[in-house]
Amino acid sequence: MDTPYTLHLFGRDLRFHDHFALDAAARYGLPVAATFVFDRTRPYGYNSRQESVVYRRLRWMHEQLRGHGGWISVVAGNELDWLEKMLRSGVVRAVSACREYDPGGVARSTERRNLCAKYSVDYREYEDSLMLPIGSVCKPDGSAYLVYGPYARRWHEIFESREWFVAGNTLPKIQWLPSRQEDFPSRESLDIEQFFESVRLDMPHNPDWTCYADRRDRVDDPNGTTSLSVALRLGAVGPRECAILAKKQSTTLLGELVWREFFTMLLSRFPASAHTEFREKYRGIAWSQDSEMLDAWQEGKTGFPLVDAGMRELAATGHMHNRIRMLTANVATKLLRLDWRLGERVFAEQLLDYDSAINLGNWQWSAGTGADAAPYFRVFNPEVQRAKFDPLGEYVRKWLPENSPGSYPLPIVDYRRSRGEYLEWWKSQT
């Protein structure tokens, strides 16, 4: 008879350290089987570029597990069909997973729970992608904070009231289910495209983030940010580890982690904001669907050098500095008046750190339609932004090498005229 075991479904938790679910599995007393399912039959939160990074990470995890007598089963297909096949075998005693809060993740959680109940198998989820559970940061009456400031104050109150630690490596603690698979599946067998990304998926040794607040907005400074957004998105680095270090070194960085949890809470509480304006009074806005303007923006041909450099970098690498994200989104929704959903979709398809809650939150913030959005009259001047954040032109030269200074094409819209027209248009729409 096959050995009974606990099944862990990896998702936004692609690591072995600081892992609540795996710690719990170790205490359960049964061998643990690790699995990841590329389920493209329903929204599951990854674009094709991210799948390439996930594949690389899973291959690394597989090698780590082999060193401890285990393996990771990686399959492509309908997760529920695969899970039911495992449950029907009668040897799965418990199933664990990382809790997710986006609409697709919530639906997936419900389906897993119902399926496990059908076979009388225990199903549990653990908080391994956020610091604090969504429901713990709320108003006294249980309603959601809609403004970041009060939310952040309450978040910090809870954070400061607890003792935090980073749990160690779970690999040697767990009795892994012995390997039944010799070779890790190929990209071709999983239908995963090769994307030649260069991305950090581990925490640097003794990171120094003390100058983060001063350097984070300089797009010409390759070391001005943590470069951990992809690792956080995949769960290769845990939020607890980042937050504990940030608390010691940079309150500004800790605040950025709180924004991440704020946007996640908003999408969880208000899932309709995934496809419509968060504020009801803005749902009738007649945004532009101009395909030529959209193409010019997406292809980096707006005539605004910093915007175009950012869009070229995104297309080539899947990366974009946060300051550039704010600028490109601001130009798209205000100077070009493009529907924020069009821009959000472009980012969703290309960003290596794509996270639906953060992407939607940032785009609605830029468009002025979100819960705690930038005021409608805040229209960035691309040239002022370039002078402030790329003063020597190093970033622009890197991504627009074909254009010498002073020879760049004229912008497709005049900033001053478009800003004025936008402000009048917004007032007429709202």
The answer to whether the CB of 8 falls within 8 A of the CB of 25 is yes
Q: Tell me, what's the pLDDT at 182?
A: 64
Give the residue, 45 or 249, on which the prediction is more confident. Answer: 249
Mean pLDDT of 416-421: 97
* Ordered domains of the chain (ranges, CATH): 5-128 (3.40.50.620), 130-167+205-269 (1.25.40.80), 280-429 (1.10.579.10)
Q: Tell me, what's the pLDDT at 316?
A: 95
Checking if the pLDDT of 6 tops 60, the result is: yes
Q: Tell me, what's the pLDDT at 55?
A: 96
The separation between CA 321 and the C-alpha centre of its own chain, rounded to angstroms, equals 14
Q: At what angle do helices 251-269 and 148-160 cross, to 10 degrees?
A: 110
pLDDT band per the 50, 70, 90 thresholds, residue 204? confident
Checking if the pLDDT of 44 tops 80, the result is: no
Rounded Cα gap, residues 337 and 367, in angstroms: 9
Mean pLDDT of 275-304: 96
Q: Which tokens sit at 24?
A: 């719990």
412-415-419 Cα angle (round to 5) = 120
**Which of these, 27, 24, 33, 36, lies nearest to 5 by C-alpha position?**
33
**73: three-class secondary structure by DSSP:** strand
Rounded Cα gap, residues 321 and 314, in angstroms: 9
Give the residue, 402 or 276, on which the prediction is more confident. Answer: 276
Question: What residues pair up with 181 in beta bridges, in sequence order?
Answer: none
pLDDT digits (tens, 9 = 90+) for 90-138: 999 999 999 999 999 999 999 999 999 999 999 999 999 999 999 999 9
**pTM of the full structure:** 0.95
Structure-token match 């917004």, residue found: 426
**Which of these, 167, 166, 170, lies nearest to 64 by C-alpha position?**
170
Q: At what angle do helices 79-88 and 103-118 cross, to 10 degrees?
A: 20
Q: Which segment of 37-46, 76-85, 241-250 scores lowest on mean pLDDT? A: 37-46
pLDDT band per the 50, 70, 90 thresholds, residue 1? very low
The sign of the CA dihedral 121, 115, 12, 51 is positive
pLDDT band per the 50, 70, 90 thresholds, residue 403? confident
Question: What residues pair up with 123 in beta bridges, in sequence order?
Answer: 95
Task: List the strands of the sheet with 32-38, edge to edge.
Answer: 72-76, 32-38, 5-9, 92-98, 122-126
Task: Please give the biggest Cα pair distance in the chain.
Answer: 76
- Mean residue pLDDT of the chain comes to 93
**125: three-class secondary structure by DSSP:** strand
Q: What share of the chain is helix, strand, coil (3-state, %, to 5)?
A: 50, 10, 45
Distances (CA, A) of 173 to 27, 63, 390, 419: 9, 17, 48, 60
**Which of these, 374, 383, 372, 286, lies nearest to 337 by C-alpha position?**
286
pLDDT digits (tens, 9 = 90+) for 62-95: 999 999 989 999 999 999 999 999 999 999 999 9
Instruction: State what percent of residues in the chain have pLDDT above 70.
Output: 99
Q: At what angle do helices 322-330 and 356-367 cross, to 10 degrees?
A: 50
Distances (CA, A) of 40 to 55, 173, 349, 396: 14, 33, 14, 37
pLDDT band per the 50, 70, 90 thresholds, residue 358? very high
Distances (CA, A) of 140 to 137, 150, 262: 9, 12, 17
Q: Could you tell me whether strands 122-126 and 92-98 are parallel, antiparallel, or unpaired per DSSP bridges?
A: parallel
- DSSP string of 97-113? EE---SHHHHHHHHHHH
Mean pLDDT of 247-275: 96
pLDDT digits (tens, 9 = 90+) for 324-333: 999 999 999 9
**393: three-class secondary structure by DSSP:** coil
Q: Which segment of 73-87, 161-175, 287-301, 364-378 scores lowest on mean pLDDT? A: 161-175
**33: three-class secondary structure by DSSP:** strand
Instruction: Kindly report the length of the chain.
Output: 430
Rounded Cα gap, residues 166 and 51, in angstroms: 27
Q: Cβ–Cβ contacts within 10 Å for residue 372, how many?
A: 19
pLDDT digits (tens, 9 = 90+) for 312-345: 999 999 999 999 999 999 999 999 999 999 999 9
The secondary structure element, H or E, covering residue 96 is strand 92-98
